[in-house]
Amino acid sequence: MKAFALLIFALSTLSAQEETEVAFRTPDGGKIAGVVQGKSAHGLVLVPPSLNGREFWSDLAGKFVNQGFMTITYDPRGRNESTPGKDAAAYEMDVLGAAAQLKKLGARKVTVVGSGNSCRPAIDAVAGDKSRKITQLVVLSPGPMTNVDKIKVDTLIMGSLREKFASYSDRLYESLTEMKIDVQFDSFISDIHGKDIIDGERGERALNLLVNFLQKGPRKGMQRHRR
């Protein structure tokens, strides 16, 4: 009986992570190829850096699905079968198209997650989200960015004290705090960068903090953690 229960659990986990190929339009007329995993009322747009594709988030996407989320990963405009719209460099349009796709699939809540270089299009998408499809923002090791003054959603910042982009995390936290945005800042005493903060065995603690933010909203303020 116990073995049967374990088999059912394994099959349900496999089913939850089945990949569905999708192609969605962006607001500026681009056509983006991607993959959706899971089925949930809370969807995550996992934003790849412009030089990477859907594979950038492939391992972590499965972990998020196991936590009860639906995920979408994609090839940004100009990569593989994804074609740009009016502006070949408007990667934020891909993010907005992905958020709209999750909404079509039943997501009532959409969180955008950026890592390193992909934090900028994630932030720009939140800033340009006139239809308010995006409800949360997560940035891992953000670098130079614009449109910070247009962020209006709950935000989680994760960064490392000893990485070269550490000052940008600090500035973003200070700006959002001044704007009275509900923001959580988890800073790790390490030099780990971007999605590597939440990946691997040493990333379990950080991943749990991120999942808690997704489920319960921000724990306001900044905390430092040993990794």
Question: pLDDT at residue 216 above 90?
Answer: yes
Sheet of strand 31-37: strand arrangement? 19-25, 31-37, 70-74, 42-46, 109-115, 136-140, 154-160, 183-189, 221-226
Of all residues in the chain, the percent with pLDDT exceeding 90 is: 89
Q: What is the structure's pLDDT at 200?
A: 85
The letter for the amino acid at 91 is Y
Report the pLDDT averaged over residues 146-150: 97
> Predicted confidence band at 4 (pLDDT cuts at 50, 70, 90)?
very low
Instruction: State pLDDT tens for residues 41-83.
Output: 999 999 999 889 999 999 999 999 999 999 999 999 999 999 9
Report the pLDDT averaged over residues 124-153: 97
Question: pLDDT at residue 11 above 80?
Answer: no
Residues facing residue 173 across a β-bridge: none
Instruction: State pLDDT tens for residues 82-110.
Output: 999 999 999 999 999 999 999 999 999 99
Is the sign of the CA dihedral 157, 160, 165, 171 positive or negative?
Answer: positive
Domains of the chain: 2-226 (3.40.50.1820)
Average pLDDT, the chain: 92
Report the pLDDT averaged over residues 186-212: 94
C-alpha 18: how far from chain center = 19
Q: What is the DSSP letter of 40?
A: -
Report the distance separating Cα 172 and Cα 58, nearest Å.
Answer: 27
Q: What is the structure's pLDDT at 143?
A: 96
